[in-house]
Chains A and B, each alone.
Chain A
């Protein structure tokens, strides 16, 4: 099964990640380990919501808004799409992800293809 790990956090979490010296190397190590097991489909970090543009089409007209679709303290900062046997494996992978010690990781199963 495929699971999307949505990497989320608020400003204090972001600051804690900045201050955490082993954070980035640990993120690389996590991704390497997942790749080695053939469990990592895709992963990436997102630029902050300041750089987001929201698109809607209403009545045939394209409406653009500067910023994210909803203003919240918690933002999606990145994602990892993983392939696991079951939820337990996905939860264990999420718990090993370095972001989990500062922010939160939402584990969302994908609809079957």
Chain B
């Protein structure tokens, strides 16, 4: 035990431990009891008890083990109390055996230092099983996202509801329904076998990527909670990459997140308007995050099994490591978009490739690709299609056609900020009277 500080200090320690340990405790207890609600309840109890006890007893040497043992003992007590049938009693006895309470080591219920040491060796890391179960494709995508935030990240139902702009009641129902289905339909609590792993891993990666994007797309101020989603997504991606060291796409996703997040503070100007990549103040990019992102990506690429996240991270790395916008390696970015469009054929990727080719080989080459997309009837109604066309026409000196395309883009742009940005480009292209 370390010396106990003031209760404020202990609260800060508990808050820090919470972020690290919540998911591990819930995952362990689900593994032991198979009961998701019980697992959450006991994890909550353990943290409440830590807040009561640590100011007096001091913070344990291994807070995570203390919390896990306390939560596990709580589960034994609750199961015993609920045990009306022999089956439940057997369950409690099994759990008790797992908790090592028969050995006489440690006190009852509170998990002192002795128990902490014992638990340290015996507690498996069940968080990967939990991740795969939360992201099971038999659950609706929005339920996978909510369940991941609740059970792995420890966000409250109210917080998740606020982040996804639904009522707490709606979110509560969504979580309850998902947990009921897992129990009633026999969704296994495990890391899937090899034959199912690629598909299931894609689902886990997809959920984490959505979390990241939800947070990344959020503005400033009132959207603070949504921005927290970005931090949670990075934390979970870091965990996944550590738990699946042989899956290069996990590293690819983590790298992609780090490289995007590194530009977070430079993305908006003082008025909260988005600043395009080429105009961002690169001294405000987070150099440490970029370095880590590049390192994680290089480790992933060494496995020679490229996937969409690794390729997108490689594109982000090209941008993030260019000292100035003019020094961007557009030829490499264009080649990477070519790879990406083979891995995930999509018109949006095709449009991004057109932009990169327009920079690498000149606007005429980019425009040819845009026109091919238009001819295929792709991306109708998507404002970035005419916006891209407008930029390429402007660079070709075809001002009138550029102005028409900018106006079409303004008419389709979904947000005021994007409309203002496009209006600014229109005036740049044609002079103020063109508006």
Contacts and interface: CB of A to CB of B under 8 A. Distances in A.
Contacts of B192: 88
A40 interface: no
A65 B187 CA distance: 39
Contacts of A5: none
Contacts of A86: 186-188
Would you call the interface of chain B mostly helix, strand, loop, or mixed?
Answer: loop
B194 interface: no
Contacts of B187: 86-88
A90 interface: yes
Would you call the interface of chain A mostly helix, strand, loop, or mixed?
Answer: mixed
A88 B138 CA distance: 9
B184 interface: yes
Indicate the size class of the contact surface on chain A. Answer: 10 to 19
A90 B184 CA distance: 13
A87 B183 CA distance: 10
Contacts of B186: 1, 3, 84, 86-87, 90, 109
A106 B192 CA distance: 22
B435 interface: no
Q: Specify which of A3, A84, A87, A90 lies most central, judged by the most chain B CB atoms within 10 Å of its CB.
A: A87
Nearest to A1: B186
Interface string A79-110: 00000111110110000000000000001010
B195 to A, nearest CB: 9
B185 interface: yes
Contacts of B196: 88
A89 B186 CA distance: 10
Nearest to B183: A109
A85 B136 CA distance: 16
Given A84-B186, A87-B187, A88-B192, 7 more contacts: A3-B186, A87-B185, A87-B188, A88-B187, A91-B138, A109-B184, A109-B186
